[in-house]
Amino acid sequence: MQSKSTYGTLAVKTAVLVIAALLLFAPFLFQDVRALEVAARICIFIVLVASYDLLIGYTGIVSFAHTMFFGFGAYGAAIALRQMGPGWDAVALGAVAGVVVSLVVATAVGLLSLRVKAIFFAMITLATASVALVLASQLSQFTGGEDGITYRAPDLFKPATKLMVDEDGKVARLFGVKLNGKLAAYYFVFFTSLALFLLMLRVVAAPLGSVLKAIRENEARAEAVGYRVVAYRTFVFCLSAAVASLAGTVYAIWLKYTGPDTTLSFAIMIDILLMVVIGGMGTMWGAVVGAVLMVMAQYYLRDLMGAAAEATANIPLLPDLLAPDRWLFWLGIIFILLVYFFPRGITGTIMQKGARA
């Protein structure tokens, strides 16, 4: 981004820092179960969206298979935890297996289709992802089919685990928050996500990030300068697949449940797409803003829409469109308008403001 030293950039970075701080202290600030659920989901989706942004925003390739890699990681951990029982060895094995499968599939798809037009690649990834989804629901002896798999996370993360004990032998409290396994699980999610996010920030700040942008801006020229475009594209596709797979593993451990609807479904792919575009493509900060807004909307907008639907109950069709289930309808319209008028998304638009010539 040429807009490195704008006031807008400063504003965005401040906002991201505030979000990070809020997430860090989330268990203490918002002391109810649903809020913690939202915070954990935000952490994981920030990583997922940022890894997707590596593809769509930095390199300019559109993939619809991102949830597939997310699913590989989640199912890897889920199957390992189910077969081997709760333990760190199962988590490690599941994570590694997920990443390896993701890398193999990503390399195959990449080498097969990244040579041709961007649009071809989008279609091929869409087809691959749909096959993965169907396989997950059909191979029910491994994946639990449509019902998914439930399993136990490692003992450290059990709500009954006491991290610290007070003099009565009960679980200790800090600022009124029980120091139990749930808290440990949240911080596991938070710090893993943070590490992965920082890794990606490092990647895009490195020379590699500039090469990727060069490929996005002008493929032929990047090739002419001497960068092997296909190799770079395949590499970044593999990298983002691996990160997505790790995010999937973390999510599986947090939820203690893995099914097609939580990891593989096309609805999640659409969520990711919406988050990237709303937040702003081509900056890692956009992923943070987009993920926060979308996840909040998912959890809290529906309540609002339910109220709106009741208020308009007498008008034909409008209550149908305002029903809580129809929230995607409005998001879709917002999405289209954003792509028209603010193709840089929220952060991209703000970061341009106040540019010093």
Partner 1 sequence: MDRISETLGRFGGVYLLPLILAALAFVLIGAPSSWATLTVAGLAMGMMVFLMASGLSLIFGLMDVLNFGHSAFVSFGAFVAASVLAALSGWLGADNVLLNIAALSLAIIAAMSFGLAAGWFFETVIIRPVYHDHLRQILITMGALIVSEQIILAVWGGTPITVLRPQFLEGAWIIGDVSIEIYRIFAFGLGLAAFIGLYLVLNRTRLGLLVRAGVENREMVEALGFRIDRLFIGVFMVGSALAAVGGAMWAGYETLITPALGGEMMIVVFIVVIIGGLGSIEGTLLGALLVGLTANYVGFLAPKLALASNMILMTAILLWRPNGLRPAVK
Binding-site ranges for partner 1 (CB under 8 A): 56, 60, 62, 112-113, 115-120, 122-124, 126-128, 130-131, 134-135, 138, 266, 270, 273, 277, 317, 320-321, 323, 325-326, 328-329, 331-333, 335-336, 339-340, 343
Beta carbon of residue 120, minimum distance to partner 1 (angstroms, whole number): 7
State which residue, 5 or 138, has the beta carbon closest to partner 1. Answer: 138
Beta carbon of residue 260, minimum distance to partner 1 (angstroms, whole number): 13
State which residue, 7 or 120, has the beta carbon closest to partner 1. Answer: 120
State which residue, 128 or 192, has the beta carbon closest to partner 1. Answer: 128
Q: Phi/psi class of residue 345: alpha, beta or left (left: φ > 0; alpha: ψ in -120 to 50)?
A: left
Residues in Cβ contact with 214 at an 8 Å cutoff, skipping those fewer than 6 apart: 221, 222, 225, 227
Report helix angle 33-53 to 66-84, nearest 10.
130
Beta carbon of residue 335, minimum distance to partner 1 (angstroms, whole number): 4
Beta carbon of residue 325, minimum distance to partner 1 (angstroms, whole number): 7
Provide Rg for the chain, Cα atoms. Answer: 21
**Cβ–Cβ < 8 Å for 249, 109:** no
State which residue, 107 or 130, has the beta carbon closest to partner 1. Answer: 130
State which residue, 42 or 109, has the beta carbon closest to partner 1. Answer: 109
**Cβ–Cβ < 8 Å for 200, 211:** no
Separation of CA 86 from chain center: 25
The two three-digit tokens of residue 294, written as one number = 């979308």
The two three-digit tokens of residue 300, written as one number = 């809290």
The two three-digit tokens of residue 119, written as one number = 């649009």
Beta carbon of residue 336, minimum distance to partner 1 (angstroms, whole number): 4
State which residue, 155 or 325, has the beta carbon closest to partner 1. Answer: 325
Beta carbon of residue 278, minimum distance to partner 1 (angstroms, whole number): 11
Q: What distance in Å separates the CA atoms of residue 217 and residue 210, rounded to the nearest whole number?
A: 10
